[in-house]
Structure 1
Amino acid sequence: MWTLGVFLLAIATCCHGLYSSSDDVVELTGSNFHDTVVNSDELWLVEFYAPWCGHCQRLVPEWKKAASNLKGIVNVGALDADQHKSVGGSYGIRGFPTIKIFGFDKTSPKDYNGGRDGESITDAAMKALREMVQERKSGGKKKSSGGSGDSRGSGGGGGSDDVVTLTDSNFRELVLNSQETWLVEFYAPWCGHCKNLAPKWASAATEIKDKTGGSIKLGALDATVHQQTAQQYGIRGYPSIKIFRQGHKNEDPIDYDGPRDTSGIVDRAMEYYDENIEPPTVDELVDQSVFDEKCTGHMCIISFLPDLMDSGKDGRNAYLELLAKLGDNFKKQKWGWGWAPALVQDKLEKALGVGGFGYPAMVAINTRKGVYALHRGAFSVEGLNPFLNLLTYGRSSGNTYPIRDGKLPEVEKQEPWDGEEAPPIEEEDIDLSDFKWDDEL
C-alpha cells in the first residue's frame, strides 16, 4: 500500500518530472539524450521512468543519493519515458523504472538488475566504471556514434565508409535534392535485425559503388535519434529500407521488399541503375577519333548501311532508328554504337569481311581481344536480337574471326551525312548528230 508521503508525491508529480535542476540527477530529454549520453566518453547510469509510476516515485530518494555519491565520478541521469516515448522505445523500455548502464560501447547499454537502494546502485556504478577502464586498456573498439548522430557500429551500415550517414539536417540536401538513386536504411541501434543487416548493407554499398560509379548510393539513418525524418516516412519497424528513385524524388519512396543479403540488395540496386542509364548514341564514323571513342576498351557494334541512292533518306533514317532502339535495349552492356555508309570505309569493310554479304551489315568488334563477329541474318529487331543476346554472354553464333595482325585499318576522314537525300546524278548531254548508224561496228 502507498504511504501518505508517496501518495502526496504522486499528486505533486502527476504532471511534472520526478527530478529538478537542483538535484545531482541530470534531467534527460529526447532532444539532449543523444548528445549528452550516447556521444559521451563517460559512464552513464540512466533511469527510464514514468511520473505516475509508484515504483519510480519510491526510487527517487535512492536515485538522488546514488547521484550525490557518484558526483564527479559517474553521471547519473533520468528520463521521463512517458513523455519522451521515442527514446524509451529505441531502447525497448517496457516497464518502469528501467535502469541502463551506458559504458564503453554506448550502442549496447547493459540492464541494471541490482538492488534499488543508493548503496547498491553506487557499488554497481563503480564496478561498471572499472570494466569500462579495462575495455579502454585492452584496446576495445568504441562504437559510440560521434558528433553527427551516427551509430552505425550496431546497425545501419556496419561502419563502412561507403554507407552515407544520414541525419535530419542533411537528408534533404543529400537524398531529396540529389540526382542519384538512394537506398536508405532506417534503423535503431538496439535492434537485432539491424545489427545482422549492418555488414551486408556495408558490403552491398561498396559493391554498388564500384558497379555504378557512385550513381546509386546507400545511406543509413538512426531513426531513434533523427525522428523527424523517420516520422515523415512513417517508419514503424526496424530496419526499414526505402528507395528514393532518380527523377522521382517528389513521389513517395518505394518500400524495399527484397532479400536482406548483399547479393539481393545489389541486384535490386542494379535494376534501378539500369533504368537510368542513358542510351548510347549511334554516331557516324567520320574519322578515327569516333571509332576510338566507340571501340577502345570495350565492345562496339558497327553497322554498314546501304548507299543513300539505294535506301533514300527515309530508308537510312529507318535503319538509324532501329539501331537506336537496339542500343537502348542493350544499354546496360555499355557497348559503343556506330555506322558508316556502304563502301565509304572500304578498307575497314574488307578487314571485317563485310563486302561479300551485302548491305546493311553489322559487326561486333572487341579490340581488346582482337576479334570480331559478323552478323549474317536479317537486319531487323527479330534478326539482330539473337546475335546481340549471344554477345552479352561473351559468345557469338560461330561467325567470330581474329582481327588480322591485331589491328584494323584507320578510318578515313569523311564529311558527315547532312540528313538529306543523295544529290541527283547529273546526266552528260552527248551530241549524236554526227553518228552514222549504218556504219559497220
Structure 2
Amino acid sequence: MKSQLFGVSLGCSLLVCISAFYSSSDDVIELTPSNFNSEVIQSDSLWLVEFYAPWCGHCQNLTPDWKKAATALKGIVKVGAVDADQHKSLGGQYGVRGFPTIKIFGANKNKPEDYQGGRTSQAIVDGAMSALRTLVKERLSGKSGSSGYNRQSGGDSGGSKKDVVELTDDNFNEMVLESNEVWMVEFFAPWCGHCKNLEPEWAAAATAVKEQTKGMVRLGAVDATVHQGVSSRYGIRGFPTIKIFRKGEEPEDYQGGRSRSDIIARALDLFSDNAPAPELVEIINEDALKKTCEDSQLCIISVLPHILDTGAAGRNSYLDVMMKMADKYKKKMWGWLWTEAGAQMELEASLGIGGFGYPAMAAINTRKMKFALLRGSFSDTGIHEFLRELSVGRGSTATLGGGVMPKIHTVEPWDGKDGQLPEEEDYDLSDVELDDVTYDKTEL
C-alpha cells in the first residue's frame, strides 16, 4: 500500500522531470537561497511559500491553484515557491521533508507556521486572509514583528536572540574552549555594515542549528571592539570574522557563504563529523521504546532471531550491521532499537513481520503511525538502500496496526551470552510398576 512517511507524498513519480513550475509571467515569485532573505525574511509583508520538487505529482497538481491564488492575493499577500529539490539547504533550513509543503511567514519570519488548509485556490486564499488578519491584530496590540537578535543595540528582537550566545573575555574559555560542543563564533564590530547584514542570517541559523543538532553545535558572537583580549588572541583583523572551535584543536577559519542556508549546512557537516553514533537500544520495556522514539522523526527497529538460533556471535554480527548503519545515518538523528523474535509479539504483529522471517527491520514514524518494512537483505547494502529510499520519500508504507503503538512487554535484557536450553526436569520412574497398569479398552 502506498502511503506517507515523513509527510512525503509517495505519489510523486520519478519519471516526471520538470525544470520549474513557475515563470516570470506568473504572480508566483521564484525563491532561491540568494534572494530568500531579501525577499521574505527582511520583508514586512505576509508570505505564503510553497516548497516543491519538480518530480512530485502532487506538486504538479497544486501548481494551477497556487498560480490562481497568487493572482488573487497580488498586492495583499505575497506568494512564492522554492524548488526544494534543487535548493535542499533552504528546504532543510525550515524542516521540509515532504512535497509540497506550504509555510506562512508572518510576524516572526524566523519561525514560519505550517499551512494546514486545503489545496484549492479558494482554500489557499482563505488561509492567507486568516493569517493576514492575525498579523494585523498583533500589530494593533503592539506586538513586535521583528526577528533575529539585536546584539548591537542590546534590545529584545525576537525568538532567535537567545540562540546566539553572547561571548566575552570572561566567559570564552569556559563556554567555548572547555566545551564538548562544536562552536561557530562570529567576531563583529557594531559599526560594521557587513556585520549588520549578517545579523539576521546568523540569528536564524543559530535557531535552526540548535534544533537540528540538539545543541551539539552552537553559534556565538563576540563584540571585538569591547572584548579585545579574546579577539587579539585569535588575530581578528577584519569584520565579520567567523571561526570554528573544537575542543582540543586549533580554531579553523570559516570559509563558507554568509547566508543562513550556508551557515546551517556547514554546521550540520560539523555535527555529522563530530557526533557519536546513536545508541542501539534493546526494547526491554515501554519506556525504552518511548524514550528513544519520542524525539526522533524515525525509529529503526530490528527483530533479531532467537539467541538459541544464532548464539552470541551471530547476534553480535547483526548488531554490528545495525551499528554501522546507525553511524552512517547519524546525521538524521533517528532512534535505533532491537528486540528478540518472540519477545514483543504485539509489536511484530502490528508490523506484519512474521511472514518475512528473521532478522527483520521496520522504519516507524511514531508521530504519523506509519511504517515501512525492509524487503531486501539484512546487510549493509540492503539496509542502506532501504533507508535511502525512505529518506527521499520512496517506498511502500502502511499504517501501524490500529493506528496506535502496540503493547510492549517488560523482558529481561540480553546478557551478551549464548542462549541455553531450559533444563528438563528429571522424573523418578523406579517406583512405577508398568506391568500392573491396565487399560479399559472402551476408554481408548
Measured against the shorter chain, the TM-score band is 0.5 to 0.7
1:291 and 1:192 mapped to 2: Cα distance? 50
Q: What CA distance in whole angstroms lies between the structure 1 residues aligned with 2:408 and 2:162?
A: 45
Distance 1:342 1:163, change over 3 A: closer
For 2:346 and 2:217, the matched residues in 1 are separated by: 43
Q: Residue deviations 1:409-436, cap 9 Å, x none? A: 31222222221112146578999xx99x
Distance 2:317 2:360 in 1: 14
Task: Please state how far the C-alpha of 1:236 moved relative to its aligned partner.
Answer: 2.4
Q: Which has the higher contact order (CA 8 A, sep 6+)?
A: 2
- Structure 2 distance, partners of 1:151, 1:311, is 60
Which one-letter code corresponds to 2:302 in the other structure?
A: S
Distance in 2 (CA, whole Å) between partners of 1:423 and 1:227 is 68
Separation of aligned partners in 2, 1:311 and 1:268: 43
Match of 2:238 in 1: 237
Contact preservation (8 Å) 2:302, 2:337: yes
Identity over the aligned pairs, expressed in percent? Answer: 48
Which residue of structure 1 lines up, in the alignment, with residue 325 of structure 2? 326
TM-score, normalised via structure 2 length: 0.56
- Whole-Å separation in 2 of the counterparts to 1:234 and 1:351: 60
- Once the two structures are superposed, the pairs formed by residues 159-308 of structure 1 within 5 Å of their partners are 160-245=161-246, 248=247, 250-296=248-294, 298=296, 299-308=298-307
Residue identity opposite 2:410 in structure 1: K
- Deviation string 1:357-413 (CA, Å, 9 cap, x unpaired) is 1111111122321221111211100111011122233x3422x22223212431222
* Conserved 8 A contact 1:297-1:368: no
**Unaligned residue ranges in structure 2 (runs of 5+):** 1-149, 436-444
Contact 1:301 1:338 survives alignment (8 Å): yes
Matches within 5 A, 1:12-411: 152-153=152-153, 160-245=161-246, 248=247, 250-296=248-294, 298=296, 299-393=298-392, 395-398=393-396, 400-411=397-408
TM-score, with length taken from structure 1: 0.56
* One-letter amino acid matched to 2:233: Q
Distance in 2 between residues matched to 1:427 and 1:168, nearest whole Å: 72
- Work out the CA distance in 2 between the residues paired with 1:214 and 1:426: 51
Q: Output the CA distance in 1 between the equivalents of 2:180 and 2:409.
A: 40
Matched, 1:413 2:410: yes
1:307 maps to amino acid: H
Give the conservation status (yes or no) of the 8 Å contact 1:373–1:396.
no
Q: Tell whether the 8 Å contact from 2:300 to 2:336 is kept in structure 1 after alignment.
A: yes
Q: How many residues align?
A: 278
| Greater C-alpha radius of gyration | 1
Q: 1:203 to 1:372 in 2, by over 3 A?
A: closer
- In 1, Cα distance between the equivalents of 2:271 and 2:414? 34
| Cα distance in 1, alignment partners of residues 237 and 411 from structure 2 | 64
Query: Per-residue deviation at 1:259?
Result: 0.1
Distance 1:235-1:379 versus aligned 2 partners, 3 A rule: same
Query: Which amino acid in 2 is paired with 1:240?
Result: T
Structure 1 segments (4+ residues) deviating >6 Å: 427-431
Distance 1:417 1:151, change over 3 A: closer
Report if aligned partners of 1:244, 1:253 keep a CA contact under 8 Å in 2: yes
The whole-number CA distance in structure 2 between the counterparts of 1:224 and 1:185 is 13
Do the aligned residues in 2 keep the contact of 1:297 with 1:367 (CA within 8 Å)?
no
1:269 Cα deviation from its structure 2 partner: 1.6
